[in-house]
Amino acid sequence: MPSLDPRFNRFILPESYSSENREEPLDQWQTWEVFTQAKRGDQHTHVGIVHAPNGEMALVLAKEQYTRREKCVNLWVVRTTDVVASDYDDSDMFDAALDKSYRESWGYKNREKLEEFQRRQEQNEKQLKEQVAAKKAAEGNAPQTGKAKPRIIVGKRK
């Protein structure tokens, strides 16, 4: 018994009949995935499929089919053949990271860079202190030990 689903061929064409020289039969329209957006800023949600010969007609049919009762501000239609999906054999890419190393800095390989940065900071601070001490010694203002003498201010008091 032939299929009533327009996505399947209902008859077999002879091999001499070139697919380049014929038009698509009207009962073999492409399927289009329909996505609607309830209000601006929301994400688009898949609501179903329509059969249409082209994108413009798919929009018209999707509007009639899916937006008559539901609120909608935007509508997308995507050819089903253009949808790319992951393979079930690649399910390990969805495994959760149970150790949650992505939350800690050690989960990333930056420890060496962090330690090198800290070493350079310490060296820079040490060099800066040495430069300041050398400058004071050159000016004759080497740091003195002991108590500092109190300053005497001469002037009028109010």
Is the pLDDT assigned to residue 4 strictly greater than 60?
no
pLDDT on residue 116: 87
d(CA 46, CA 25): 27
pLDDT on residue 44: 93
Q: What is the pLDDT of residues 74-100, one digit of tens each?
A: 999 999 999 888 888 877 777 776 776
90 in Cβ contact with 58 (< 8 Å): no
H or E element, residue 60: helix 55-66
Q: What is the pLDDT of residues 5-60, one digit of tens each?
A: 655 555 565 666 555 545 555 557 899 999 999 999 999 999 999 999 999 999 99
* Cα Rg of the chain (Å, integer): 38
pLDDT on residue 31: 93
pLDDT on residue 120: 93
Residue among 74, 34, 25 nearest 53 (CA): 25
Q: What is the pLDDT of residues 133-144, one digit of tens each?
A: 888 888 875 555
Q: What is the dihedral of CA 116, 122, 124, 127, to 10 degrees?
A: -140
Please, what are the domains in the chain?
29-82 (3.10.20.520)
